[in-house]
Amino acid sequence: MGCSVMGTIMNYFASLPGAVAQGMIWGIMAIGVYITYKILDIADLSVDGSICTGAAVCAAMMTMGYSLAVSMIVAFVSGLLAGLLTGLFHTFMGIPAILAGILTQLILWSVNLKIMGLALDKASAANLPLSSRNFDTLVSMLEMNRSLLVLALFILVIVGVLYWFFGTEYGSALRATGANLTMSRAQGINTGLAKIIGLMLSNGIVALSGALLAQYQGNADINMGKGAIVIGLAAVIIGEALFGWFAKTNFALKLTTVLLGGIVYFIVYSTVIYMGLESNYLKLLSAVVVAIFLAIPYWKKQYFSGAAHAEKKAQKAAEKKAKKEETENA
């Protein structure tokens, strides 16, 4: 019995580097979600499709003999095009952002099937192998130490580039668009174009994470994007709730909290699996975690802040005064 428990504990700790690696990959995806959800104030559901598009494009091109660098660049560009499509649906056609994302997601489902089918000379395919035994990949489950190092370098570059971009004049215009749309228009900012650029950048980063995920897990699969938006939101919200206290004013640190949120999410995910939770309930767990962390800021404001206490005190004083006046009038 003791040996069995010890073996389970050792297996759990042995699985943690894999959870960290997955958290880093999905943390990169969550940065894309952060750009739309937090900076542009847009709920973009197209990420469920664009992460699979990045994976499908990367796997298909490498299968057809293209180099890893070219495959990843094209995967990133495919994400930019997916974001462009969502942006045009929203700005040019006037479709609400959430519906525009759903439409793009539906389109990408068919596109992804076709892309993977092309690599296998089929009309369509739902899965495309990309084993590190047969291809030169940047990351792989079979080479964990190298994968963690490569992912750390990727994260440093992405955070650095985004920190620089959002500090530029146009990056500031994107942030202003999300903060106050009316005032941004009054300042002469083309808010429609700003939304399109933001959506393109977001989906480009998401597709890039999809390319890394396909290499890491050894295949691109049509279902790999299901629930991606939930995982992305979980990473954003968990990171903000747990680590936001040290990233209130620095944008690079805010992006870092998103990545840390992704790592925490997958460590919790791995822990729950080792505790024996059925895999059928993992999506339920994800939804509950997101709901709780979304509610935390509201609960803090409503029940624990000084303003809430003062409001309740004023309300009680007003009720006491009203009762006193009723008594005097009687």
Query: Averaging pLDDT over each range in 87-91, 139-143, 249-253, 270-274, which range is the top one?
Result: 87-91
Whole-number Å distance between alpha carbons of 139 and 201: 23
Where do we find the tokens 């609960």?
A: 299
Give this prediction's pTM: 0.87
* Domain-located, residue 63: yes
* Domain-located, residue 56: yes
Taking only the tens place, the pLDDT of each residue in 279-290 is: 677 778 777 877
* Domain-located, residue 265: no
Tokens of 14: 């042995």
Q: How confident is the model at residue 3 (pLDDT cuts 50, 70, 90)?
A: low
Q: Tally the domains of the chain.
A: 1
Supply the range of the domain harboring residue 202. 20-225
Helix, strand or coil for residue 12? helix
pLDDT at 257: 93
* Domain-located, residue 42: yes
Q: How confident is the model at residue 52 (pLDDT cuts 50, 70, 90)?
A: very high
* Domain-located, residue 119: yes
The secondary element (H helix, E strand) that includes residue 291 is helix 282-299
Q: What are the b/e assignments for 25-58, b being 16+ CB within 10 Å?
A: bbbbbbbbbbbbbbbbebebbbbbbbbbbbbbbb
More reliable by pLDDT, 18 or 326 = 18
pLDDT at 106: 94
* Domain-located, residue 254: no
More reliable by pLDDT, 21 or 14 = 21
Asked if pLDDT for residue 278 goes beyond 90, the answer is: no
Residues 6 or more apart whose CB falls under 8 angstroms from that of 273 comprise 279, 282
More reliable by pLDDT, 292 or 25 = 25
* Domain-located, residue 177: yes
pLDDT at 155: 94
pLDDT at 7: 63
- What's the rounded mean pLDDT across residues 52-75? 95
Instruction: Classify residue 137 by burial, with Cβ atoms within 10 Å: 0-12, 13-18, 19+.
Output: buried
Whole-number Å distance between alpha carbons of 295 and 315: 24
* Domain-located, residue 293: no
